[in-house]
Structure 1
Amino acid sequence: MTIDEALTEIAAVADAVLFEGYLLYPYRASAQKNQIRWQWGVLVPRGHGAQAGEVSSNRTECLLEPRGDDTRVHLRIRFLHLQQRTVLDALGRQVDELDVAGTRHLSWEEGVPRQVDAVLPVAELLTGASVPIRVPGSRTDEHLTHPGGAPAGRLVRTCWPLAGTVAVRAEELPGPYGVLRLRVEVHNDAGCSSEMSRTQALRTSLIGTHTLLAVEPGAFLSLTDPPQWAAPYAAECENLHTWPVLAGPPERSDLLLSSPIILPDHPRLAPESTVELFDGTENDELLTLRTMVLTDAEKAEARATDPRAAAIVDAVGALPAEILERLHGAIRSMGPAGASGFGADGPAAPPPQSVPWWDPDAEDSVDPDTDSVLVSGVPVAKGSSVVLRPGRGCDAQDAFLAGMRATVQAVVHDIDGTVHVAVSLDDDPAADLQISHGRFRYFRPEELEVTP
């Protein structure tokens, strides 16, 4: 498989990032939730972000192991380009909606996928390289006619020009490992006036911006679970408004996806997900069922809102029963034969069991409010103060909490006999609300440090 084919292969996951929240259920222009769109990975024109809390650039830093003097980095920057769809009637007047032979046409903001590609020798990156982003403006007219051929109006689609720069630099790191720190910065170079509204700024924004990288020959190192020798290097990588992870199948280490949404290494779409719903795949069944029960009028408005919304309505309506059933749940892994209670000759004899501690009516020897666990030889129980030290392979969300102080709220046991410590963050302004709802963060005892 060529590098270009590999980058294309991981585009399905990248597209889930690109179109996250592009158009939310119920996929209609009139829906309140669709009045403010374009939330993820938006790089606005310079000068606008300072007053709106948005940014005009992002930064990806990752660790790269080149394997040869001819190592090259393949760079692909992807984003959406806002396209304004304006409806004009037969007299050329702008209208919000036009009905032509029973088909509705609405004014709306569409998104056009764009990408910028470059192949950069690592030797050149040691002194820095710059890749321009230049997308020209455009205007197209789609003429609408009545069944008899008389003019009914026009759909005018307008894109404004985009300008940006990708700055790429590699830095040799000290030590015998030959590893490089690779930095990729994407900048929106468009300017704006202080009076520019967000609606106007979006016209020259890079929306849903994310970076795809491939190296040949060479490998990227995971930042969430780096080799022990590379952990200090990984800790020094600074990523701004983006999150890099290894991409492609687990056996590959030459692909990287850096997105504005936190993902695990080697992310993939659930195989049960067959329709792009612009939301997490864990919501597929819910969104599919809700889309199926839209009224005919609601479906007509969704189709008129956006071609991608029309595709959702049509795809959901055509789902066969066996595909719909798959959305209800899936078993990702199975234990070895006999692990589920069945052996080669039929049901296996159940192992000896003690009193089921998870049944509060069976015994009272387990109590999350009073149980304790040893942390570095010190008993820790509800009310203890600790510092969080998430271990290797931890969830990305937990990694952000490293070094934060917390209060133990419970010591709990799972059905495998593993001990977990439930904590609340001391600096969380919503801690009291989370505690009242019984919502905690869970860590293993070895991921905690006792404080005086």
Structure 2
Amino acid sequence: MSAARPAGPVGGVTGCVFPPATEARLAPARRIADAVLFEGYVLYPYRASAAKNRLRWQFGVLVPPGYGRDSGEHSHQRTECLLEPRGPGGHLAVELRFLRARRRTVQRAAAPGPDAYLTVPELELSDRVLTPWDEGVPESVRLLLPLERLTRPEGVEHPFLLPARRETEPVTEKGAPVGRLRYATEEVSGVLRLRARELPGPYGALRLTAVVANTGGWTAPPAGADRADALPHSLLSAHLLLALDRGRFLSATDPPRWAAPAVAECAGEHTWPVLADPEGGDDVLLSSPIILEDHPRIAPESPAALYDATEIDEILALRTACLTDREMREARGTDARAGAVVDFAASLPPEVLERLHGAVRSLREVSPVPGAADASGEQPWWDPGADRGVDPARDTVAVGGVAVGAGSRVLLRPGRRRTDAQDLFLDGRTALVEAVLHDVDGSVHLAVTVEDDPGADLWRAQGRFRYFQPDEVTPLEAS
């Protein structure tokens, strides 16, 4: 995952203040949650005019129930997970996090006077091009609850209400007013419902159910409305962070054997719970609207947020740096976060860009000496020098009683049972064998270049060949 860094409008926090120890446990998980919060927020080329940025908010959208009934969208999400308290007196910290749409309208100064403004599709300035856009304002609702209270039959129900706001921001160019931005943030209301039930058996585990629901009264007008009309009244990218001060959560993907049947019965809706401590702890859980693995981590090579779903930092940074001046000005005028991406890509030093060129984290250590034994005394199977009895340039294979090896001419007769369409185009062509290769399964492959191919010398120099099995060629002469 790539890091998400704050930019743009700052939202608010509703509810309690967590103790310092709880904040310390949640801090690493919040970096993961921030990446979830802004997943797909604005996509390359980071302009509002791009087609892919016109259908937004794909994850964790909770619409008002009056709109959700007819739209196929969801108005609630449900998390069920197992936890094990450690002794009495434990508390559960709950943090609901989501984005709230702040709709921006662009107006140009039409004539001298305080109210002479005209709504326009764009306002071009020297450093940016301002366009209408829905900004995402982060919001949080926090609760700190005794576990004992959650086990009562009624559980806990916590409604919340975020009031509507209207704001205006003047736009100036060289000190002179040229327009203004008008922001509309609509009322959003919802409820958090939490309840815990003890599992039968000797383990003392609890099944926690947490429901987040949009309870807003907004409905589509009689003339109808599209999804964009409902988004300002919705919870966007909604997810939960949960932390225990005395206890642990059980993994939904790799639970203890005794808990597996109970985990299988957990009925989540529109979220996926994962252990969220990147260092491997089990006292913090993230219920995410996108599927993650336990203990997700921010890639250490990722120096900034690019917000692009399933982003690849290197290629996005390179492409962003290649945007035209006009495109960069449009991105800066689209959103503060998009502008930060453009400025980041334009100022990226070579040593940082090199770090983005991929990383391999799963290979075990091997001897740096080619062909040398590893710590177990075995030869690395993938090392071409490990088996001195194999030489692709000298080995031969018998085909129809003829020894075929490097330098042999063959007629290509690809079979249909394992051949793709590209190989079938070469049926009947002649080729030169470049090497005889053995794979780890014991199969033999002939690396060939096609005769009369004007690029054959280039393929040979780069070690790029076409591959056929011995029963797919006919020798043209003895080797």
Quick one: distance in 2 between partners of 1:89 and 1:67? 62
Q: Does 1:258 align with 2:287?
A: yes
Please name the residue that 1:8 is paired with: 27
CA shift, 1:331, in A, is 2.3
Q: Does 1:32 align with 2:51?
A: yes
Aligned match for 2:336, one of 301, 307, 312: 307
CA shift, 1:50, in A, is 2.1
Please name the residue that 1:94 is paired with: 119
> Are the structure 2 counterparts of residues 69 and 204 from structure 1 closer, same or farther at C-alpha, using a change threshold of 3 Å?
same
Please name the residue that 1:330 is paired with: 359
Q: Is the 8 A contact 2:95 2:141 kept in 1?
A: yes
CA shift, 1:83, in A, is 0.2
CA shift, 1:261, in A, is 0.4
Residues 41-90 of structure 1 deviation map (CA, whole Å, 9 limit, x = unaligned): 00000121221111000000000101121111000000000001111222
Moved more, 86-95 or 286-295: 86-95
Aligned match for 1:84, one of 103, 109, 113: 103
Moved more, 322-331 or 56-65: 322-331
Quick one: distance in 1 between partners of 2:352 and 2:100? 33
CA shift, 1:193, in A, is 2.5
CA shift, 1:191, in A, is 2.2
- What residue identity is the alignment partner of 2:25? A
CA shift, 1:271, in A, is 0.9
Aligned match for 1:69, one of 76, 88, 92: 88
Q: Does 1:143 align with 2:192?
A: no
Quick one: distance in 2 between partners of 1:279 and 1:316? 14
Q: Does 1:204 align with 2:253?
A: no
Quick one: distance in 1 between partners of 2:300 and 2:95? 25
Moved more, 196-205 or 233-242: 196-205
Quick one: distance in 1 between partners of 2:310 and 2:287? 19
CA shift, 1:9, in A, is 2.0
Of all paired residues, the percent bearing the same amino acid is 50
CA shift, 1:106, in A, is 1.5
> Are the structure 2 counterparts of residues 416 and 74 from structure 1 closer, same or farther at C-alpha, using a change threshold of 3 Å?
farther
Moved more, 188-197 or 235-244: 188-197
Please name the residue that 1:173 is paired with: 199
Quick one: distance in 2 between partners of 1:160 and 1:341? 67
Please name the residue that 1:114 is paired with: 139
Q: Is the 8 A contact 1:138 1:160 kept in 2?
A: yes
TM-score, with length taken from structure 2: 0.71
- What residue identity is the alignment partner of 2:168? D
Quick one: distance in 1 between partners of 2:287 and 2:208? 12
What's the secondary structure of 2:73's corresponding residue? coil
Quick one: distance in 2 between partners of 1:355 and 1:48? 68
Moved more, 287-296 or 2-11: 2-11
Residues 246-297 of structure 1 deviation map (CA, whole Å, 9 limit, x = unaligned): 0113431000001110000000121111121113565111211111111111
Quick one: distance in 1 between partners of 2:62 and 2:150? 24
Give the superposed CA RMSD. 2.8
> Are the structure 2 counterparts of residues 247 and 213 from structure 1 closer, same or farther at C-alpha, using a change threshold of 3 Å?
same
Please name the residue that 2:76 is paired with: 57
Residues 164-220 of structure 1 deviation map (CA, whole Å, 9 limit, x = unaligned): 000000011100000000011000001233434322211110000011000011000
Q: Is the 8 A contact 1:273 1:281 kept in 2?
A: no
- What residue identity is the alignment partner of 1:259? S
Please name the residue that 1:18 is paired with: 37
> Are the structure 2 counterparts of residues 415 and 80 from structure 1 closer, same or farther at C-alpha, using a change threshold of 3 Å?
farther
Quick one: distance in 1 between partners of 2:98 and 2:254? 28
Quick one: distance in 2 between partners of 1:39 and 1:61? 22
What's the secondary structure of 1:48's corresponding residue? helix
What's the secondary structure of 1:313's corresponding residue? helix
Higher-RCO chain (CA-CA 8 Å, sequence separation at least 6): 2
Q: Is the 8 A contact 2:158 2:191 kept in 1?
A: yes
Question: Which structure would you say has the larger Rg?
Answer: 2
Moved over 2 A (4+): 99-104, 191-197, 279-282, 333-344, 347-356, 361-364, 414-417
> Are the structure 2 counterparts of residues 125 and 355 from structure 1 closer, same or farther at C-alpha, using a change threshold of 3 Å?
farther
- What residue identity is the alignment partner of 2:170? H
Quick one: distance in 1 between partners of 2:307 and 2:318? 15
CA shift, 1:5, in A, is 2.5
> Are the structure 2 counterparts of residues 101 and 303 from structure 1 closer, same or farther at C-alpha, using a change threshold of 3 Å?
closer
Q: Is the 8 A contact 2:96 2:142 kept in 1?
A: yes
Please name the residue that 2:187 is paired with: 161
Quick one: distance in 2 between partners of 1:416 and 1:11? 46
Residues 390-427 of structure 1 deviation map (CA, whole Å, 9 limit, x = unaligned): xxxxxxxxxxxxxxxxxxxxxxxx9599xxxxxxxxxx
CA shift, 1:103, in A, is 3.8
- What residue identity is the alignment partner of 2:182? V
Q: How many residues align?
A: 365
Quick one: distance in 2 between partners of 1:307 and 1:255? 31
Q: Is the 8 A contact 1:269 1:281 kept in 2?
A: no
Q: Is the 8 A contact 2:28 2:278 kept in 1?
A: no
CA shift, 1:139, in A, is 1.8
- What residue identity is the alignment partner of 1:301? E
- What residue identity is the alignment partner of 1:182? L
- What residue identity is the alignment partner of 2:169? E
Segments of 5+ residues of structure 2 without an aligned counterpart are 1-19, 110-115, 380-384, 400-416, 419-438, 443-479
Please name the residue that 1:269 is paired with: 298
What's the secondary structure of 1:30's corresponding residue? coil
- What residue identity is the alignment partner of 2:43? L
- What residue identity is the alignment partner of 1:141? T
Q: Is the 8 A contact 1:355 1:362 kept in 2?
A: no
What's the secondary structure of 1:181's corresponding residue? strand
What's the secondary structure of 2:40's corresponding residue? coil
